Every structure is written in structure tokens, then in C-alpha cells.
Amino acid sequence: MSEVRPAEAQRPERFYDVVEGAEIGVAARSRSPWERLSDNTALRKLGVLLMLALVWELYARKLGNPLLVPPFSVTVEAFVQALLFGGLLLKVWTSLQILLVGYAAGLILAAILTTFAITTRIGSDLLETLTAMFTPLPAIALLPLALIWFGLGPRSLAFVLIQSVLWPVALNTHAGFMSVSPTLRMVGRNYGLRGVAYVRQILVPAALPSILTGMKLGWAFAWRTLIAAELVFGVSSGAGGLGWFIYESKNTLDIPDVFAGLFTVTIIGLIVENVIFRTVEVRTIRRWGMAQ
Amino acid sequence: MSFEVGAGERFVILGPSGCGKSTILKAIGGYLRPTEGEIRLGGRIVREPGPDRMMVFQEFDQLPPWKTVRENVMFPLLVSRRLSRSAAAERAAHYIEEVNLTKFADSFPHTLSGGMKQRVAIARALAMQPDILLMDEPFAALDALTRRKMQDELLELWDHTGFTMVFVTHSIPEAIKCGSRILLLSPHPGRVKAELNSAPRGDVASLQALEQRVQQMLFADLVEEELARE
């Protein structure tokens, strides 16, 4: 205690002039073009796609059997041909129409069910039981029943589509609602918000990351179910959809067209994921700092 | 336990952690119903949360991240239908100015520092011009320098607007600095140990004396507890 160490005694105090906001500026160094390119997510993803296409092309050429695996270039050609002359666009539209109807209906039902679940205890029990029962059940397994109930047509398709959308969306939305921070819930109740207004103004935006995940899952499940349904049961109400296009092409051994059909499904998936959902995310949860 | 808060008072509930001071505040807020007894606000019994008692929490995530600072301050005004949109915007601008955040009015909360977020929460609560402002350790998660600055700013705001507040804290200096009346709670089971008047602001000697008194009263408890345990 008593001894003063030499360092403490001898080192002089120093004072510096701090000029506010002067010459320091923002610390930044310009990045090399390569760094800038590799930081662009869209560009990197495009690179991945090109690489996959290249692997496909090389493998198919090495195999040399276009009946089994037509090369990428042949598939693209068949795709363009089908688009221009084969009525592929119409078939896509037929599929998308019913898909959107089923998807929208599924979302609305999920919204009603989860609102009911979060505002009442019996609703919560109901939702948890129903999602536990129906999430593992492939929606397509209900198609035979749906055909008996609603006949061969868009109503049966809509029914199985709703099945495939409703449960994953409801499950994720409910999980999102449950994980909203207690503080934010108290803030909402402090404002006097209750019931539907509370769900809409506090829970939905706060749980948006989970809700979007659910919507993406629902979209993917809906596509799978629709293509499967069209493949198995073919035409519904006059115009065939994309699944029917694939099935028909297989029957005529037009394998490049089969690939073109599958190719279309994946392209639409890529666009929906990377354009639509991504735009929504950038404008909402990323802008709000709720996701990276 | 029984106490009264007068209009315009800065009423501080001070006690060690676990004595139930936050619980009392949540009960005043209407989030918890007392098993016995009742809480009255200007004669009306408190039954549920409401915008007449605005709460400022300790956690930074009390600001909805999907609303800018301005929208956050306007949010309760609009939701409770107190004001029209333009009147709410005007009042929000005024209170944002009061907490010196005008430059950040259009920023989203995730771009703000902890102290700034708490200032938004205070502005949001004051803009409602509530009957009573409930503060649940609002500065506990801030660093020491920011905390001191926020305490000064809070007192300045009180000088301007003269709101009534109940402030919960476990820090003796904070209680003495921010409070005009201090409710001292003993550790579990939480009982009222004393209700003190704070010393006048700026009177360093009596502030220090008060701090010592409070400290002794709290430590006496702790010693008793230790003895009881042995």
C-alpha cells in the first residue's frame, strides 16, 4: 500500500487536442473488383447455376443417351420450343391459377386458425392437435378421397392444395407468435390492443420471419402436391397443367420435353424464392433488422 | 404493503433483487392482478393494462422494430384513438425533440444505440401524456456513462413537463438522484421498510447523508438475514 511503484510516479500525464469531426472521416478502403463481384449474392448464385448446368451438359454428353438424360442445351432448346409452339405457357398458367387459388385459401385458413389459437386456449389446443395430425400426412394421399367428394376437377385439386399449405403455414405462424418477446407483448397490451387488432398490429409483424418461412414452405409443398396430382390423375377440367405436360411427354417418349417440364418447375421455384420472397424480405424483415 | 403516489411525484421503489419491486410495477401496469387488496388510479380500480399508464421497460426490444422512431412514438397515440394522424405526428415530433432525437426520427430502432432506444421509449410514453409513467429499471442495461446522462435528461424532462412517475430500481444512487420520494423495500419477503423524502437536488451533503442512511437500512436487513441463516 505504502510503496509507490516507479512507473506510477514517473510517467507524465498527457493531453491531446481532439478536433471534432475533422479529417478522420469514415474508415473505408475501396474494394477490388473481384471482392465486389464475389460479394454480390445474385451473381454468386448465378455462378452456382451455371456450374450445375455445365456439369449436367458434360455428364449427358459423356453418357450419350438423350433418351435417358438429354444434355442441358437440348433441354433448353425443347423448353424454348415448347414455350413458343407447344403451349407450355398455357399449361404453366393453368397450373399456376389453381395453385394460387389453393395457396391463397390455405393462407386465409391458416390466418383464421392461428388467430383463434393465439386468442383462446381451446383454439391453441385445437391447432396443436390438428397440426400434429395433418403435417406428417402427405396432402396427395387425400386426393383419392377428394376425387370422390368433389369429383375430377379443380375443386379436388384446391382441396389437396389447401391441405398442403395450411398446416406448415399454421405451424410456423403459431411458433412465430409464441416466440414474440414478452416485452413486446406487454407493450401491445399497454397500448390497449386486444384480440384481432393485437394479432395484426403486434404479433404478425413481430413474427414475420417465421411467417415468411412458413409461406415459403407452403409454396413449395403446394407445387409438389400439384405436380404430383397432375401426374397421377392427369387432366382436370379441359386444359392440362404442367404435370400433365410432363406425363404426356413421357408417354410419347419425348424425353427432352419431360426435362423441359421439370426444368420449368425448378425455374418457377427459383423465381418465386429469389425474386418474390426475397423482395418481400428485403423490404420488411431485413429493413427492420430482424434478419441478416 | 400500502403506499400512495401523489400527482407530480417522482416515486421510486428501491429494493434488492427478488424483493418484488418489478412485480408491484407490473401490478400497477395491470399485467398482474393482486391476490389481495387493490390498486387505484385516481379512484378507479386498475384491472388491465391500458394507455393511461405507459410503461418503459428495461429491455431494448420494447420498440417494435418494424416502425421508425417517429412511427413508434405515434403508434400508441393512433392505436388508442387519442389523436388524428396529423395531430399525432405533431405531438410525436415535439416529444422526439424533447429527447433530442429529431435527427433520428426516421431511423429504424435497430440502427440506434441502447441509450437512444430508451429515449425513444420515454418519448413514446410521455407523448401519450399518461396519468402515470411506469419505469421498470429503464437504465439498468445501459453503460455507466450513458446511464448518468439519461438520469440527468429524465430530470430535465420532468422539469419541463412535470409528469407523475413510479420508478423501480435496485441502485441506491439512482433512487436518490431520480426520486422525490423513495419507498424502501426489505429483501424477501418484500415489505415496506421506509418511505423517505429525497434530499433537494444539488444539495450534495444531504444527498450523501441520505445515501448512507439508505445503505445502512438495507445492510441492516442483510446482516439480519445472514444471522438468521446461521
- Which tens digits make up the pLDDT trace of A72-83? 999 999 999 998
Calculate the alpha carbon distances from A53 to A59, A68, A255, A268, A270 in Å: 10, 17, 17, 17, 14
Looking at residue B122, its pLDDT comes to: 94
- In the stretch 93-132 of chain A, residues with CB closer than 8 A to chain B read none
How far apart, in Å, are the Cα atoms of A143 and each of A107, A138, A247, B35, B96? Answer: 20, 10, 18, 55, 58
Q: Which pLDDT does position B42 carry in this prediction?
A: 86
Residue in chain B closest to A192 (alpha carbons) equals B50
- C-alpha cell at position B50: 391500458
Least CB–CB distance from B61: residue in A184, A201, A205? A184
Q: Is B114 on the interface with A (CB under 8 A)?
A: no
**What is the Cα–Cα distance from A252 to A45, expressed in whole angstroms?**
35
Tell me whether B111 touches chain A (CB under 8 Å): yes
Of A60-69, A106-115, B117-126, B187-196, the poorest mean pLDDT is in B187-196
CA-to-CA separations, A227 to A1, A224, A232, A266, B23, in angstroms, rounded = 83, 5, 9, 12, 56
For chain B, give the number of residues.
230
Q: What is d(CA A107, CA B127) in angstroms, rounded to the nearest whole number?
A: 37
Query: A7-53: per-residue pLDDT in tens?
Result: 556 788 888 887 765 555 566 677 788 888 888 888 898 899 999 99
Distances (CA, A) of B118 to A152, A287, B18, B142: 60, 21, 24, 9
Number of residues written out for chain A: 292
For residue A236, pLDDT over 70 is answered with no
Q: What is the distance between the alpha carbons of residues B82 and B122, in angstroms, rounded to a whole number?
A: 18
Chain A residues touching B80 at Cβ < 8 A:
191-192
pLDDT of A268 higher than 60? yes
Residue B1's pLDDT is what? Answer: 79
Q: Quick check: A256 and A263 in contact, CB under 8 A?
A: no
ipTM, interface predicted TM-score of the complex: 0.89
Segments in chain B below pLDDT 70? 188, 221-230
pLDDT value at A237 more than 80: no
pLDDT given at position A12: 83
Q: How far apart are CA A32 and CA B12, in angstroms?
A: 57
Is pLDDT at A177 greater than 80 in this prediction?
yes
Q: Tell me the three cell numbers of residue B215.
A: 445503505
Separation CA B99–CA B107 (nearest Å): 15
Q: Which of B3, B43, B58, B46 is nearest to B169 (CA)?
A: B58
SS3 content of chain A, % helix, strand, coil (to 5): 75, 0, 25
Q: Sign of torsion, CA B212 B217 B223 B229?
A: negative
For residue range B13-43, what is the model confidence (pLDDT) as tens digits? 998 887 888 889 999 999 998 888 889 998 8
Nearest CA to B48 among B31, B26, B25? Answer: B31
Q: How many CA atoms lie within 13 A of A251 on its CB side?
A: 9
From residue A89, alpha-carbon distances to A80, A97, A122, A227, A237 in Å are: 10, 12, 46, 15, 17
pTM value?
A: 0.85
Instruction: List pLDDT tens digits, range A192-217.
Output: 999 999 999 999 999 999 999 999 99
Mutation site for B-interface testing, chosen from A180, A187, A286 by largest number of B Cβ within 10 Å? A187
Q: Please judge whether A190 and B29 are an interchain contact, meaning their C-beta atoms are less than 8 angstroms apart.
A: yes
Residue A242 touches partner B, C-beta closer than 8 Å: no
For chains A and B, CB pairs below 8 A equal 62
> How far apart (Å, rounded) are the C-alpha atoms in residues B220 and A170?
56
CA-based R_g, chain A, Å: 28
* Of the partner residues A183, A191, A290, the one whose CB lies closest to the CB of residue B79: A191
pLDDT, mean over chain A: 88
Shortest CA distance from A283: residue in chain B:
B66
A217: closest CA of chain B, how far (Å): 23
Half-sphere exposure of A74 (CA within 13 A, CB side): 19
A-proximal residues of B, 3-62, CB under 8 Å: 29, 31, 48-51, 53-55, 57, 59, 61-62
